[in-house]
Amino acid sequence: MPSGDELEVALDEGTIDADSGSVPIAAVELELRHGQAESLYGVALELLETVPLRIDHVSKADLGYELLVAEHSDAVKARPVHLNRRDSVEDAFCTVVRNCLDQVHANERGVVSGHDPSSVHQMRVGLRRLRSALDLFATGIPAYPGLDGELRWIASELGAARDWEVLAGATLDRSGTIGNADEIQPVRQACERIAVNNRQRAAAAVESVRYTRLVLQLAVWLNRKGWRGGMSDEQRKGIGGAAGKFAAEVLRDRHRKLIKRGKRLADLDDHRRHRARIAAKKVRYATEFFASLCARRAVQHYVEALTALQDDLGWRNDAVVADQLLKLLPQTSPEAASGAAFARGYLASRVAADHQTLKKRWKRFRRLSPPH
């Protein structure tokens, strides 16, 4: 540890008790009394090599209150990003990444508890936003080697649970409203069983040493601005430029890419439509990241049209994923074979019927210019 840095270490062991139950406590608390934050993270990483630890973002008092009132953590959506027109590109990067991480961390406990599928969804959204932010700034601030691979790993652990949750819920709801509930019910029950198992897998991943290491390494890199080490003077000057100018260039570039990917959108095959959907998602995230630097009315109109387009592309993607999962379902749940076949056919008919709606939504969006 650097000379002069001072850390306080406390060991807590015991239980929090209430009428509704008790929660065991076994914690190592590290507090930086004096020095650099990376010293704190460095000690935590060293401990992680010896003891399987995970980070808890909730205090003992909050745990006690949750137990007292018998409440669970609610799923947390992303909060608005607030940037200043005087911010540099590097300032904007740090603010955006921390905003994404706040959403990820706020949903960890919900994922671990397994009580609410929405926490899995919102943590996954936070990870997607984070990966999009890293990609958005990558030309000026490249991520450290291996980061994207680790983010892909944890996102995939959450994704398996989420895909089956969506199928068991919203997707099958579309198939079960036309008098065939008896056929759909075995499908729903089988999907729910798989979703529960996958939620347990997602919880284990979030509690794993691998995930804790990812969180700590990312925090170290962000706090010490680790990207600066290998930069030239010209590169440092580039990330010191105005965030507003950078934002305008990014929004124009991402808008152009979406327009190119979405040409004849309603007639694209699944693969090319999926690429257009990803491009739309990147535009949406970039617009939300930089909204505070743009005219409010322009952002509002743009996001409204983009949201309608994304909703359409999103449920179409859910239908594609559902078709793949429903093909597999009879292998493990033969009793669901008939209902799965019906659901596949019904969803295919819904996708075909949506052709004109998608054309109209794409036409509306294509007329707009990116906000500035």
- What's the CATH number where 80 sits? 1.40.20.10
Q: What is the pTM of this model?
A: 0.91
| 346 in Cβ contact with 322 (< 8 Å) | no
Taking each helix axis from N to C terminus, what angle separates 147-166 and 181-206, rounded to the nearest 10 degrees?
150
63 has pLDDT over 90: no
Residues 25, 14, single domain; the answer is: yes
Residues 302 and 295: their CA atoms lie apart, in Å, by 11
Length of the chain, please?
A: 372
Q: What is the pLDDT of residue 114?
A: 78
Task: Please name which of 292, 122, 101, 269 lies closest in space to residue 202, comparing C-alpha atoms.
Answer: 122
pLDDT at site 34: 82
Q: Based on the domain organization, do 326 and 183 belong to the same domain?
A: yes
The pLDDT value given to residue 59: 67
Same domain, 64 and 196: no
Residues 117 and 46 in one domain: no
- On whether residue 18 sits in a domain, the answer given is yes
Among 81-95, 111-125, 300-314, which stretch is predicted with the lowest mean pLDDT?
111-125
Q: Are residues 286 and 328 in the same domain?
A: yes
In this structure, are residues 173 and 343 in contact, taking their beta carbons and an 8 Å threshold? no
Quick check: is 224 in a domain?
yes
Q: Which of 122, 125, 88, 92 is closest to 107 using CA atoms?
A: 122
Residue 159 and residue 201 in contact, taking contact as beta carbons nearer than 8 Å: no
User: CB of 83 within 8 A of CB of 99?
Assistant: no
Residue that is written with structure tokens 């359409």 in the block: 312
Q: For residue 135, tell me if it sits in a domain.
A: yes
- Answer whether residue 297 is part of any domain: yes
Single out the residue in 19, 53, 71 at which a domain terminates: 71
- Asked if residue 262 and residue 312 are part of one domain, the reply reads yes
Average the pLDDT over 41-62 and give the result.
Answer: 79
State which H helix or E strand residue 21 sits in: strand 21-34
Cα distance between residue 67 and residue 161, in whole Å: 26
**Is residue 204 domain-resident?**
yes
More confident: 58 or 34: 34
Regarding whether 80 and 8 lie in a shared domain, the answer is no
Identity of residue 15: T
Residue 158 and residue 57 in one domain: no
CA distances for 2 relative to 5, 7, 9, 266, angstroms: 6, 11, 17, 60
Domain of 4? 1-71
End-to-end CA distance of the chain: 46
Residues 205-234 have pLDDT tens digits of: 999 999 999 999 999 999 999 999 889 999
**Where among 19, 41, 71 does a domain terminate?**
71
Residues 94 and 63 in one domain: no
The answer as to whether 371 is a domain residue is no
Instruction: Please check whether residue 372 lies inside any domain of the structure.
Output: no
**Domain count for the chain:** 2
Give pLDDT tens digits for 315-345.
999 999 999 999 999 999 999 999 999 999 9
51 and 107 housed in the same domain? no
CA-wise closest residue to 144 among 227, 225, 238: 227
Are 50 and 181 found together in one domain? Answer: no
Specify the higher pLDDT residue, 21 or 289.
Answer: 289
- For residues 317 and 269, membership in a common domain is answered with yes
The answer to whether residue 115 is domain-embedded is yes
- The domain boundary, picked from 40, 71, 102, lies at 71
Give the closest residue to 290 by CA, choosing from 133, 142, 131: 133
